[in-house]
Amino acid sequence: MIMDCVVRLLRAALVVVSLLGITFPAAASEIPPFASAANRMVLQLVQQNSPGISVTVSKDGNVIYRASRGMASMELHVPSADDDVYRIGSITKTVTAATILLLSQQGKLSLDDRLSRFLPDFPHASDITIAELLSHTAGISDDWNVDPASAIDTKTLASLIAKQPLDFKPASAWRYSNSGYMLLGAVIEKVTGRHWYDVEHDVVLVPFGMTHTAYYPDNSVVNDMAQGYSVNAQGEVTRPPFVSISGPMTAGALASTADDIRRLVEGLNNSKTFPAALLNVMTAATKLADGSTVPYGYGVMLERVRGEEAFAHNGGIEGFSSQYIYVPREKVTVVVLANSDSGTPNTRGIARQLAALAIGKPYQRFVDVTLSTHDEEALAGTYAIAGGSTHVITLENGQLFIQRPPGPSRPLTPAKGDLLYYAGDGTDYFHIVRARDGRITALEFYPDGMSHARLEKRIGTH
């Protein structure tokens, strides 16, 4: 009888493991507490019959959790796997920045070099430094057009970018610029005489042990490559439009695995592969001409997770999204790759929740509730944010959305306790403030789920 119970329990555990595609450093019968809690989180946030994810979490250089869930191919009913290859979009920028920094250490360029040294015919090149391209403060515009389905080379890309005026005077402001990172690819090719992807392979990918990361041309057959997906206006899963991967180049054209992105992050934090002095430069906040700072270094975003300093980067490209987070004090690395560009699964939210869990500061768990139409309509309105901006809540086809204009609208999920959180995220949240008669007078916004809220008074209804 006892043996029958044990067998049934083991079978139940194996069912959960098979649904998730999870692997552990210990035997399945010895699942550690972190992995068990992470499993519950991933099961809640990712549906099995949807586009999927691959996840890796490490601490002190040791993998403490791997998981995959959802589908690598919806059409062929192929489940996601740990070693699936995904397009990583803008995480490519971290590799490009590391390449530039290592080339500077080799004496092939300086961060203070003017772009005119490498691209003398580029407009305003004498006013732009390599450092400004790395930090998105060069003013290089993304406002140029080309057929996204057509293959394009570095020289043509640079000439198209050159036709647009600068968005602002270099070092005077910050604006995320894919074009600036494409110009860094042109610089890499100029100083080495080789294709950018071959240089990044030799300078970063090989030394960091990233054996499953590469630039794959449009006609490549890639083993274990996940199929990318989007959604249409009705919320149905669709194939994304074809875009030639040649266009994003050093700004977003690499493909990789969750374990390889872990190796990237750990390689950056290993003085044997990446000197500490370079890491310090890479992860320092960008300083503008007016003395203000921006939470972006060179190819890395500077963030906080539950109050802890972290550096990170996300990526989004047709059919795919990605996120890594590194918490230096705890030496925790989290990587989440998804084969959907729809925001579901939400790579940022999943990565931040896993990171918070791994450092022992988990986000609160929400208990979803269903509001009446009357209560949903009562929430619709405009809420003032200090500094002159607003949050606008709308109700569309029974779904609450929130927008901070001119940014995108994001769906909200109501939760027990008069709370609202970003659907599929579960990190930032709002508390609904009411008058004694029940009227909604404000929202309290809790960024990163921390205890200090920002009050946003209601100033209008819809």
pLDDT > 90 in the chain, percent: 85
Q: Give the helix/strand (H/E) hosting 448.
A: none
State both tokens at 280: 């310090």
- Say yes or no to pLDDT of 233 above 90: no
Are the C-beta atoms of residues 179 and 142 closer than 8 Å to each other?
yes
Q: Which residues contact 272 (CB under 8 A, 6 or more apart)?
A: none
Three-class SS of residue 95?
helix
Three-class SS of residue 75?
coil
Any bridge partners for residue 308, and if so which? Answer: 305
pLDDT > 70 in the chain, percent: 93
At residue 44, the pLDDT reads 85
Are the C-beta atoms of residues 215 and 197 closer than 8 Å to each other?
yes
- Say yes or no to pLDDT of 2 above 50: no
In order of their start, the domains of the chain are 89-358 (3.40.710.10), 373-461 (2.40.128.50)
Any bridge partners for residue 9, and if so which? Answer: none
pLDDT confidence band for 3 (50 / 70 / 90): very low
Q: How far is CA 206 from the centre of its chain?
A: 23
Q: How many CA atoms lie within 13 A of 145 on its CB side?
A: 0
Report the b/e string of 162-200 with b at 16+ CB within 10 A. beeeebeebbebbeebbbbbbbbbbbbbebbeebbbebb
Three-class SS of residue 306?
coil
At residue 21, the pLDDT reads 61
The two counts, helices (H) then strands (E), for the chain are 12, 23
Q: What phi, psi does 132 have (nearest 5°)?
A: -70, -35
Are the C-beta atoms of residues 306 and 354 closer than 8 Å to each other?
no
**In angstroms, rounded to a whole number, what is the distance separating the alpha carbons of residues 109 and 130?**
9
Q: Which amino acid is at 70?
A: G
384: exposed, middle or buried (C-beta count within 10 Å: 0-12, 13-18, 19+)? Answer: middle
Mean pLDDT of the chain: 92
State both tokens at 401: 């959305």
Mean pLDDT in residue range 367-380: 95
State both tokens at 226: 């996940």
Among candidate residues 241, 338, 320, the one with its CA nearest the CA of residue 47:
338
How is residue 51 annotated by DSSP? B
Are the C-beta atoms of residues 423 and 411 closer than 8 Å to each other?
yes
DSSP assignment of 98-110: HHHHHHHHTTS--
Cis, peptide link before residue 241, omega less than 30° from 0: no
Any bridge partners for residue 14, and if so which? Answer: none
Angle between helices 154-162 and 178-192 (to 10 degrees): 130
pLDDT confidence band for 424 (50 / 70 / 90): confident
Give the number of other Cβ atoms within 10 Å of residue 346's Cβ: 26
Mean pLDDT in residue range 195-207: 98
Q: Which amino acid is at 424?
A: G
pLDDT digits over 324-336, tens only? Answer: 999 999 999 999 9
pLDDT digits over 157-192, tens only? Answer: 999 999 999 999 999 999 999 999 999 999 999 999
416-423: list long-range contacts, CB under 8 Å, 24+ apart.
Answer: 416/366, 416/367, 416/368, 416/369, 417/367, 419/366, 420/379, 421/366, 422/346, 422/349
At residue 8, the pLDDT reads 39
**In angstroms, rounded to a whole number, what is the distance separating the alpha carbons of residues 8 and 286?**
57
At residue 107, the pLDDT reads 97
pLDDT confidence band for 125 (50 / 70 / 90): very high
The distance in angstroms from the start CA to the end CA of the chain is 63
Three-class SS of residue 415?
strand
Mean pLDDT in residue range 392-417: 93
pLDDT digits over 46-72, tens only? Answer: 999 999 999 999 999 999 999 999 999
At residue 426, the pLDDT reads 85
At residue 370, the pLDDT reads 96
Among candidate residues 277, 385, 268, the one with its CA nearest the CA of residue 324:
268
Three-class SS of residue 178?
helix
Three-class SS of residue 168?
coil
Q: Which residues contact 120 (CB under 8 A, 6 or more apart)?
A: none
pLDDT confidence band for 234 (50 / 70 / 90): confident
At residue 145, the pLDDT reads 87
State both tokens at 197: 């992807």
| Alpha carbon separation from 192 to 113, 189, 202, 210, 411 (Å, rounded) | 16, 5, 12, 21, 47
At residue 402, the pLDDT reads 96
**In angstroms, rounded to a whole number, what is the distance separating the alpha carbons of residues 311 and 22?**
26
- Say yes or no to pLDDT of 425 above 90: no
Q: How far is CA 350 from the centre of its chain?
A: 10
